[in-house]
Amino acid sequence: MERSRRQRQREQETEQTDDERVVCPECESEDIVTDADQGELVCDDCGLVLDERQIDRGPEWRAFNHSERQSKSRVGAPITETMHDRGLTTTIDWKDKDAYGRSLSSEKRSQMHRLRKWQERIRTKDAGERNLQFALSEIDRMASALGVPRSVREVASVIYRRALNEDLIRGRSIEGVATSALYAACRQEGIPRSLDEVAEVSRVPQKEIGRTYRYISQELGLELKPVDPKQFVPRFASSLGLSEEVQSKATEIIDVSAEQGLLSGKSPTGFAAAAIYAASLLCNEKKTQREVADVAQVTEVTIRNRYQEQIEAMGFR
């Protein structure tokens, strides 16, 4: 059994030339076996360990035949939906340097400038691709400003591509549809970003974003659940420097208030801000209504109204 295992290990070794052949210094045998499990190089005749703790520089996947090896083989960056060509085309670097890091001559620099210009032109073959290129760059810009993860950008790009294929952009601005797709992606991925926050980094009014968002979500059949105010609590509490105790209390206030039906028709950001304000008072970490309102981007009147409702729901009055 041990002999057959070593035989299989020997078969899995890569072919070596005569110059690269390893010789055992103890018995001068060339019968060297690589133990991949232990990361060791062992002489099969005398058992001397020639090398240990070897680094496996091969792929992380296994293949048992040629076709499987070919199908798993890959090179380059993964395909992404955040680029109009899915990242499959080449890009000419902006650095005017050769492979050795030396600066190019003026003639070569002007030639590379022309190549970059034509490279950008031929990457988009029609108006639809130019539309997609501009929209995805807008989504990437707004996503960076909002600080959302990469997964949200991918989902937003897929939503915009679906809207483009369904011809939902006709008669609407590209920026408006791109912003609506990003907001819908935040809702789908459970990333707490309000419509006001998205409108701040966009170039279109909030009313247009809301109108376009409702139209796109209805036409594409996006299943979007109502925003949970509890998603905003950690971010608001962190910005205000509040403790975990305040966050837990604010979550409890939201749960009790929602059970009594007070959440229906209310702004989730205002509801979360009022819960944090109430929790800060109950936990002796007082924050003013103005401080909470600035972080949540709501008015003090909204916090006062929601605060009164939540306090009554908790039975403190």
- Residue ranges for the binding site for Zn(2+)? 24, 27, 43, 46
Known binding-site positions:
24, 27, 43, 46
Q: What does 111-134 look like in DSSP terms, one character per residue?
A: HHHHHHHHHHHHT--SHHHHHHHH
Label residues 119-135 b or e (16+ Cβ within 10 Å = b): eeeebbeeeeeebbbeb
Nearest one of 123, 226, 204 to 181, comparing CA atoms: 204
Cα–Cα–Cα angle for 169, 221, 216, rounded to 5 degrees? 25
Position 263, amino acid: L
Q: Pull the structure tokens for residue 100.
A: 């050795």
DSSP run (H or E) holding 185: helix 174-189
> Rounded CA gap, 76 and 64, in Å?
23
Tokens of 276: 């944090």
Distance CA 168, CA 163 (A): 5
